[in-house]
A and B are shown apart, each in its own frame.
Chain A
Amino acid sequence: MNQLSVTAQKQWHLPKNFIKLLVISVVLLAVCIFASLAFGSRALAMNDIISGLFNADVQTHEANVVRQRIARTIFGFMCGAALGVSGALLQSVTRNPIADPSILGVNTGAALFVVCGIAFFNINSSAQFIVFALAGAILTAIFVYGIGAMGRGGATPLKLVLAGAATSAALSSLVMAVMIPRSSVMDQFRFWQVGSVGAGTWDSVKIFIPFLVIGLIIAVVTAPALNALALGDEAAKGLGVKTGTLRVIAALGGVMLCGVTTALAGPIGFIGLLAPHLIRLMIGPDLRFMIPMSAISGAIILSISDVAGRVLGSPGELEVGVVTAFVGAPVLILITMKAKMRAL
């Protein structure tokens, strides 16, 4: 019996493929760091990277480019991790495989508030963007949840997604209405709206850190209860989960992560959808493992998209939001087709 428990313990502790996935992820992360430092509108040689990284005395143009790219790389990782975890949280809360901050309208809500801020309140600093984007994200989330919760049966996954899609469509037309007559707003907003980590500096990294940490803590702490919620509301209540409180906390965490990312880097779609989904396919649906892996894979996907955008768009660059949308759309279609066959 004792021996059996020991072997069983090993099996239960880690999902199948977890170690393999972890190793692959770490290797990919390293590759991403290197690629993100080396590639861009100007490709750098290995010794430039090394001297830029480790030799503070070297003041060549190349070395400075590397230093600037370090901030961008870290910022990109943070954005990707935040979006990946945000997607995992929102998918769990709505119990819907295609729930993504952008699909639930949260990103568009954040965008609308930022546009209004630029147009009517002359906001221009990162901190102001965060305040407006967060307010927009949270209000939109509450609004979408409110609509989805109306009528019999409460906020079912399907009603939430429909409410999100409708809200998102309405809000994006409002964004257009505010922006189009104002060419200066349009210029400022245009770059932000597409989603770019190119603007990432040490300042944005610093502002980001507390939000990212709080969001990750919420995600990790709620993971076991969210695992129970995945069995349905009745089963979760039977296991002693306060489903209402749990939903509010986890949704707040998810909305905050995506709201802040949106504020600092603009709306970057599909990573919140893609990262958790890939991880679920590989290691199964246990959120205690899915959440950290979604963070890592989100960082990898965003980083690859960013580098791809720099290489493909050379001599300028293609914003990362364009790249993720391009890759994400077909994946969304695939997931939806699969999800139709087995609804969560």
Chain B
Amino acid sequence: MKQTHTFRADSLIAGYDETPILHNIDVTIPSNEISIIIGANGCGKSTLLKTMARLIKPTAGEVTIGGTPIQKIPPKKLARVLGLLPQTPIVPEGITVTDLVGRGRFPHQSFMKGWSQKDYEAVSDAMDMMNITEFADRHIDELSGGQRQRVWIAMALAQQTDILFLDEPTTYLDITYQVEILDLLTDLNRKHGTTIVMVLHDINLSARYADHIFALRKGKLIAEGDPSSIITSPLIEEIFGLKCSVMKDPISGSPFVVPIGRHHNKIRKHS
């Protein structure tokens, strides 16, 4: 079971160049749960994720794990606790699945020691978990989008961190693969207790898979909590500026957002 960490950001101000995108954000990531950050385009979802994953240095405030600012933890040591799958990582030309997944072991290796039995096991476990063992020797270029994403997640799993950040892991994927990826991540959380933090675009999938939701609007945290208690039509209207009706997902029982447009604005009764 993965360790529990107090992982939080205090009065965080961050952005690119000199323009702040996040304005004074305080968050505490619930340990061993799945958290999903939602919000409209440009609200700072990815910026929050990247700042917490130490890709962006905050201009003010700090991100801490167990009370230690993450900037003060040696990068390799931090990488054994906190893993990250960026939105668009680069596939080196001609790389095989095993080679790519194996690169997730970097923070556990030192130059003198090389590959240990533990490294091989971590890679083989990660590939089993993501059901990609059969592709082990294939080139990434030959795989479908969904398979490819599973390989990337396996790379992050091989890193064996307690906390895993994913920046829009389902973008560009068909709905089938979106569900598949989110199911696999849920397995990971339930089986190993991995703390998962991700940005998702799909509000209904977010409501279904999240234990905890962070709702951002214009760089500020405007609501957080478990999906069924915070997702309401006023909140969605505030975040996205979209009128909607919130119903109950007939399959999962989580909140289900049905948008109201100019052409479809009556609530129909089932006959």
Contacts and interface: CB of A to CB of B under 8 A. Distances in A.
Contacts of A258: none
A122 B86 CA distance: 54
Interface in B67-92: 74-80, 82-86, 88-92
A4 B125 CA distance: 11
B84 A11 contact: no
A239 B85 CA distance: 10
Contacts of A15: 99
B78 A280 contact: no
B94 A239 contact: no
A59 interface: no
A56 interface: no
A234 B55 contact: yes
Nearest to B82: A238
Given A241-B75, A285-B94, A234 B109 contact: no
B89 A235 contact: yes
Interface of A: 4-5, 8-9, 11-13, 15-16, 95, 97, 152, 221, 224-225, 227-228, 230-232, 234-235, 237-242, 280-281, 284-286, 342, 344
B103 A238 contact: no
A239 B124 contact: no
A221 B111 contact: yes
Contacts of B85: 235, 238
Contacts of B77: 240
Contacts of A8: 98, 120, 123-124, 136
Interface in B42-77: 50, 53-55, 74-77
Given A285-B95, A286-B99, A238 B115 contact: no
Contacts of A344: 90, 92-93
A226 B69 CA distance: 26
Contacts of B75: 237, 240-242
Contact of B86 (A228, A232, A286): A232
B88 A232 contact: yes
Contact of B120 (A9, A95, A228, A234): A9
By CB atoms of chain B within 10 A, which of A15, A221, A230, A342 has the most?
A230
B90 A11 contact: no
B99 A228 contact: no
Contact of A5 (B50, B83, B93, B121): B121
A241 B137 contact: no
A16 B104 CA distance: 20
B254 interface: no
B169 interface: no
Contact of B123 (A12, A95, A227, A235): A12
A240 B103 contact: no
